[in-house]
Amino acid sequence: MEHDNKSPVAYFPYPGLLFLLAALVTVLFIMSVFWGTVSIPAITLLDVLFGDNSPSAIILRELRLPRAILALAVGASLGMSGAALQGLLRNPLAEPGLIGVSGSAALGSVIAFYSGLSVTYTLALPVGGMIGACFSVGLLYYLAGRDPSILTIILAGVAINAVAGALTILALNLAPNPFAAFEVFFWLLGSLTDRSMKHLFMALPFIGIGVCFLLSTSRGLDALTLGEDVAFSLGISIKSLQARIVLGIALAVGASVSVAGVVGFVGLVVPHLLRPFVGYRPGRLLIPCALGGAALTLAADIVVRFATQGPELQLGVLTSLIGAPFFLVLVVKTRREGR
Amino acid sequence: MVFLNSCLFTEKIKNTIIFVGLVFFSSITTVSAETNPNKPKRIVSINLCTDQLLMALVETERIISVSHLSRDPSISSFSGSANTLHINYGTAEEIYHLKPDLVLAGEYSKKNVVGVIKELGLNIVTVEVANSLKAMRSNLLKVAAVLGEEAKAKILVSKIDNLFLSKNTYAEKPVAIVWRARGLTDGRGSLVHDLLQAHGFRNLSEILGRGAVGNINLEQIIIARPELVIIPDPKQDYPSLSQLLFKHPALRSLDRGTKPWLRIIKIPEWGLICGGPQVLKAFEVLASARLDLLNNKQTR
């Protein structure tokens, strides 16, 4: 498959790429733990290990660590989901946020939360998110799977987003809490501030399973670039491939949104940046995108802490500010290529 | 789409902020109505804060409708009696149908509704935010004049004065903070600030340089180590995203532990939301917390 290496950077060694990205993620992770509104000396790490109850230790253990791990997990699942979705639909514009997967996951979480279900069953929150996400990916594939042109995908995304948005408002209007709409407005902008280990344990298992599902599609996605018939003749079961991707995205994105809100555009920006480095092979793109997504989200989550004077900037606002111009350029580019 | 949606949302937010953050201590200044020699007998209130002032000053027979939020026991001090009253959702149409002789609205009540009600020729009085004890006090008297209840108001005001103006004799000034949903705090220029000062507390929000309404996150609270953190106590236990903050293990781990430098107390949310006689409740809670703190220091 060496013939589709269009770009000179395609010869960038794959292990080298993975190593660089992993190093970047590690550095950002450490920065995320030690940098914040209050700076903490690295020596405190020892206190944390010995179970100290000093303020710094508590901040590290109960606030910074879950926050950094969540940023890593959420970023990885968004980056990888974007890459997988784009591979499946063979379209670089498919992104969990844009096509309404995140919005639907948010709807599921909002219903699980404000109906009081998540008070009784903690797991109702991620499960609600995953059901919402699963429903929207399925719907998208039904609407655009056969004809994955830009227009169909974007229109399907607009429709799904509109329905999810309307139903979310409906759910909020019916919620007993008079401040529900206000709270969710901020939550929909995405944030990792003041999350606890509880959120981590709630979301991480599902994100892990989702990522495993997606990783298993690597070979299938590569084969799919040659068309469904060729992929079939190579021994790829298209049905199983689709099912694993839909399920993987639903688990990873659904669980992510239920703890972090909607963090948009990560799944669009990261695959686009990294695609030339893997020779445009969607299967190979998965792991670099997970690492890249984690790096972008960790970096953005550090920037929001310092970007404003008063309350922290919302994470999703920052990623959207970065991602929206990207999206515009991509639309123009894809249209030109399509002609 | 996203941007359009967010534009539409800002209007909603503006309205919601009234209840959530800014108008925690709002009270009344008369804007359009003059002192009424004939007491109004068909009064409608479309704002939670004016609801509570009305309930405190006027007998229920004269009230024909209060806002729907007044039935929520966590933010309304009279939710019990509100259940028997007619409630409105603050739309011009329903207010007009009630044929009121006086409408009370908040400073941040929907501007379009207030405008339409004025155009329809109804007598409407809008309410301003009281950012201090002084403002709350004088506004209470002013609205009482509109309602023709000056005598009642004078009793209430003297009660408040006695509590607030009695000089506190505490030599030590521990640091305290009123910490609300989403980490909002009240600094200098707010009624809560006056309340804390009256009890001989230093306000952490002021120390950290926040304005009348500011934001402080959990990390800052843990590092600053205030001796008292006052959080709202939601009577109604509906699920709330912004209240999850108060259940964070990092905050609770400070409350217990071997070195409890931080004490967390709960005040009914309605005692902090609006500037009215119900503030006296918050006053009581704070006073006992102050005594507790003093006793703990002595026994330690």
Q: Is A175 on the interface with B (CB under 8 A)?
A: yes
Q: Kindly state whether residue A12 falls inside one of the protein's structural domains.
A: yes
**pLDDT(B254) > 70:** no
Q: What is the pLDDT of residue B133?
A: 83
pLDDT of res. B135: 82
Give B26's strand partners: B129
Task: Please name the member of B20, B223, B249 whose beta carbon is closest to the beta carbon of A62.
Answer: B249
Test the A interface: residue of B20, B70, B71, B240 with most A CBs within 10 Å? B240
What is the per-residue pLDDT for A9? 55
CA–CA dist B254, B264 (Å, integer): 9
Contact A97, A264 (CB under 8 A): yes
Q: How far apart are CA B194 and CA B233, in angstroms?
A: 21
Residues of chain A with pLDDT under 50: 1-6, 8
- Which one-letter DSSP state was computed for residue B63? E
pLDDT (mean) for B30-56: 76
Local structure of B99: helix, strand or coil: coil
Total domain count for chain A? 1
Residues of chain A positioned with their CB less than 8 A from the CB of B20:
179, 182
Number of H helices, E strands in chain B: 13, 11
Comparing CB atoms, the residue among A176, A185, A194 nearest residue B238 is A176
The number of residues in chain B equals 300
**Residue A99 belongs to what domain range?**
7-336
Residue B50 has pLDDT above 70, yes or no: yes
List, in sequence order, every residue forming a beta bridge with B127; answer none if it has no partner.
B106
Asked if the C-beta of A58 comes within 8 angstroms of chain B's C-beta atoms, the answer is: yes
B2-23+168-298 and B35-161 share one fold = yes
Contacts of B240 in chain A (CB under 8 A): 177, 179-180, 183
Pairs of CB atoms within 8 A across A/B = 103
Q: What is the pLDDT of residue B19?
A: 40
Indicate the pLDDT class of residue B15, thresholds 50, 70 and 90.
Answer: very low
Instruction: Scan for tokens 């004049």, then name that residue.
Output: B145
* CB–CB contact B219 A119 (8 Å): no
**In this structure, is residue A1 part of a structural domain?**
no
The pLDDT score that the predictor gives to residue B270 is: 83
Among chain B residues, the shortest Cα distance to A199 is held by B248
pTM of the model: 0.83
Q: How close B270 gets to chain A, by Cα (Å)?
A: 14
Nearest to B239 by CA among A185, A256, A103, A179: A179
Q: Going along A124-259, which residue ranges are E strands?
A: none
pLDDT for A287 equals: 96
Q: Which pLDDT belongs to residue B299?
A: 55
CB contact, 8 Å: A183 with chain B? Answer: yes
Q: Provide Rg for chain B, Cα atoms.
A: 20
Q: Is residue A2 situated within a structural domain?
A: no
- Which of A56, A63, A113 comes nearest B241 by C-beta? A113
* Residue B69 at interface with chain A, using a CB cutoff of 8 Å: yes
- Assign B263 to helix, strand or coil: strand
Is there a domain that residue A203 lies in? Answer: yes
B129 or B212, which is more confident? B212
Question: CB distance from B252 to chain A under 8 Å?
Answer: no
d(CA A37, CA A31): 13
Q: Do B236 and A176 touch (CB under 8 A)?
A: yes
Q: How far apart are CA A91 and CA A96, in angstroms?
A: 13
The CATH architecture that domain B2-23+168-298 belongs to is: 3-Layer(aba) Sandwich (3.40)
User: Tens of pLDDT along B128-143?
Assistant: 877 788 888 878 888 8
The residue ranges of DSSP E strands in B101-164, in sequence order, are 102-106, 124-127
Characterise B41 by phi-psi region: left (phi > 0), alpha (psi -120 to 50), beta (else): alpha
Which of A39, A102, A196, A331 would best serve as a mutation to test chain B binding (most B beta carbons within 10 A)? A196
3-state secondary structure of A208: helix
Which of B241, B246, B254 to mutate to probe the A interface, most A CBs <10 Å? Answer: B241
Q: Token digits for B99?
A: 């044929």
CA distance B257 to chain A (A): 8
Question: Which residue has better confidence, B92 or B253?
Answer: B92
CATH number at residue A78: 1.10.3470.10
Separation between Cα atoms, residue A271 and residue A266, nearest integer Å: 9
Domain covering B35-161, topology: Rossmann fold (3.40.50)
pLDDT given at position B12: 42
Domain segments of chain B as ranges: 2-23+168-298, 35-161
Which of A55, A114, A165 is the closest to B222 by Cβ? Answer: A55
What confidence score (pLDDT) does residue B42 get? 93
Q: Is B214 on the interface with A (CB under 8 A)?
A: yes
Statement: residue B256 has pLDDT above 80: no
**What is the token pair recorded at A127?**
């499960």
pLDDT confidence of residue A126: 92
Q: Which helix (H) or strand (E) holds B266?
A: strand B263-268
* A186 in contact with B, Cβ within 8 Å: yes
Region B287-299: mean pLDDT is 73
Give the Cα separation of B283 and B155 in Å (integer): 17
> Per the structure block, which two tokens stand in for A101?
């997967």
State the nearest Cα–Cα gap between A251 and chain B, in angstroms. 22
State the average pLDDT over residues B23-52.
66
What torsion do the CA atoms of B272, A177, B45, B131 make, to the nearest 10 degrees? 30
Residue B21 has a pLDDT of 37
Per-residue buried b or exposed e for A200-216, using 16+ beta carbons within 10 Å of the residue's own CB: bebbbebbbebbebbbe
